[in-house]
Structure 1
Amino acid sequence: MTDYSDDDILKMIFENNDSELLMKVIVEKYHFRIYNHVRSILISHEDANDVTQDIFIKVWKEIYKFRGDSKLFSWMYRIATNESINFIRKNKKHSVLIRESTENYLLSRLTADTNINGSKLQIELQKAIAKLPEKQRHIFNMRYFEELKFKDIAEILGITEGGVKSSYHFAEKKIKDQFKVD
Structure 2
Amino acid sequence: MKDEDIIALLGDESTHEQAFRMILKTYKEKIYYHVRKIVVDHDDADDVTQETFIKIWRNLDKFRGDSRLYTWLYRIATNEALTFLQKKRKDNSVSIDDNELLVASLESPRSDAYLDGDEIQVKLQKALLELTDKQRVVFNLKYFENLKYEEIAEITDTSVGGLKATYHFAVKKIEEYLTNH
TM-score range relative to shorter protein: 0.7 to 0.9
- Displacement of 1:29 in angstroms is 1.1
Kept after mapping to 2: 8 A contact 1:139/1:153: yes
- Of 85, 93, 104, which residue of structure 1 is paired with 2:98? 104
Which string of whole-angstrom CA distances, capped at 9 and with x for unpartnered residues, describes residues 98-150 of structure 1? Answer: 8x3x3325x52353375333212211111111111221111001111122121
1:45-64 equivalence runs, <5 A = 45-64=42-61
Unaligned runs of 5+ in 2: none
Give the total of aligned pairs: 175
- Specify the alignment match of 1:152 in structure 2: 151
Equivalent residue letter for 1:109 = L
Whether contact under 8 Å (2:153, 2:159) holds in the other structure is yes
Alpha-carbon distance in 2 for matches of 1:155, 1:110: 32
CA–CA distance in 1 between the matches of 2:144 and 2:66? 26
- TM-fit CA distance, 1:25: 0.5
Instruction: For 1:66 and 1:50, locate their aligned partners in 2 and report how far apart those are by CA, in whole Å.
Output: 23
Contact 1:128 1:178 in 2 (8 A): yes
> 2:179 corresponds to which residue?
180
Deviation at 1:85, TM superposition (A): 1.0
- TM-score (normalised: structure 2): 0.88
Moved more, 159-168 or 52-61: 159-168
**In 1, distance between residues paired with 2:105 and 2:91?**
17
- Using the alignment, how far apart are the partners of 2:97 and 2:3 within structure 1? 36
Task: Note closer, same or farther for the CA distance 1:59–1:72 as it changes in structure 2 (3 Å cut).
Answer: same
Shift of 1:178: 1.3
Q: Give secondary structure in 2 for the equivalent of 1:18.
A: helix
Whole-Å separation in 2 of the counterparts to 1:95 and 1:135: 20
Cα distance between partner residues in 1 of 2:49 and 2:116: 21
From 35, 40, 57, the equivalent of 2:37 is: 40
* Partner residue, 2:116: 117
Identity %: 41
Please say if residues 43 and 110 of structure 1, whose CA atoms lie closer than 8 Å, have aligned partners that are also in contact: no
2:90 to 66, 90, 93: 93
Q: Which amino acid aligns with 1:30?
A: Y
Instruction: Say yes or no: does 1:130 pair with 2:123.
Output: no
RMSD over aligned Cα, in angstroms?
Answer: 1.8
Distance in 2 between the 1:60 and 1:83 partners? 14
The CA deviation string for residues 44-86 of structure 1, in whole angstroms up to 9 with x for no partner, is: 1121112111111110010101121111111111110111111
